[in-house]
Structure 1
Amino acid sequence: MLRKALGDRIDRDARSFPDMMDEHAVMEFPYALPDLPDRLDGREAVARHLEGLGGLIAFDRMGEPTVHPTTDPAVVIIEFEGFGRGVATGAPYDQRYISVIRTENGRIVLYRDYWNPIAVLRATKGAAFVDALVGGGAGHE
């Protein structure tokens, strides 16, 4: 999905998400939960983080991206969805993302990832946990 969205901004030899990252890339999560990092520095840190997420959420598929070019040709904004299940709960994971991505020399140098932390909690902790935390749950079925 990301390769399709970024097109020729990414080196053709990059086969995985970490491969698309520059060695010194920064990945930021402005809405990170307290027990998750809000910033990762370097390709290796991103790869380790992604490995750890596999124990939280099992992804089934990613939606078609909507790409928003910007006035800076090195920056693109992408909207997309991710679907899966919480590993421990089996609860559905339906997430919408907005990512602001800067590329240089065929690699990602900055990836700022915006997503809904409530969707993560619902999948990893269960609906009852989230409903108790936020006082209800109407409209979140």
Structure 2
Amino acid sequence: MLRKALGDRLAPDAATFLDMVAENGVMEFPYSPPGLPTRLVGKAAIARHLESLGDMIAFDRMGEPTIHATTDPDVTIVEFEGFGSGVATGESYDQRYISVIRTDAGRIMHYRDYWNPLVALRALRGSAVVDALVGGASDHG
């Protein structure tokens, strides 16, 4: 999905997400709930996070990206969806993302990922726990 979204901004040899990230790349998650990271610095930290994420959420598929050009040729804004379920809960994980991505020399230098923390919490902790916290909201999207 990112290869399609970023096209020639990525080095041709960057086949996987980790290949796309610079050694000193940064990922930020401004809306991350307590217990999940808000900032990762370096490819090794990002790799550890992605590995642990696989133990939390089973991704089924990613939606088609919508790419927004910016006035800065090194910055791309991408909207997309991710679908899956919480590993421990079986709860649906149907998430919408907006990502602001800065590239340099064919690699991702900075990736800021905006997503709904309630969708993540429902998948990780269950609807009953989250609904009790937010007053029984029934809209899970």
- Using the size of structure 1 for normalisation, the TM-score is 0.97
After TM superposition, give the deviation of residue 75 of structure 1 in Å.
0.2
Matched, 1:113 2:113: yes
Deviations 1:36-73 (A, max 9, x none): 11110011111110000011100000000000010000
2:19 maps to 19
After TM superposition, give the deviation of residue 9 of structure 1 in Å.
0.4
After TM superposition, give the deviation of residue 138 of structure 1 in Å.
2.5
Runs of 5+ consecutive residues of structure 2 not aligned to the other structure: none
SS of the aligned residue for 1:124 comes to: helix
Aligned-residue sequence identity (percent) comes to 69
1:75 maps to 75
In angstroms, what is the RMSD of aligned CA positions?
0.9
Give 1:4's aligned amino acid. K
Matched, 1:39 2:39: yes
Measured in 2, the distance between the counterparts of 1:9 and 1:71 equals 15
2:2 maps to 2
Measured in 1, the distance between the counterparts of 2:139 and 2:57 equals 22
Measured in 2, the distance between the counterparts of 1:93 and 1:139 equals 13
CA contact (8 A) 2:119 2:140 kept: no
CA contact (8 A) 2:64 2:81 kept: yes
SS of the aligned residue for 2:22 comes to: strand
Give 2:133's aligned amino acid. L
Measured in 2, the distance between the counterparts of 1:7 and 1:87 equals 32
Give 1:119's aligned amino acid. V
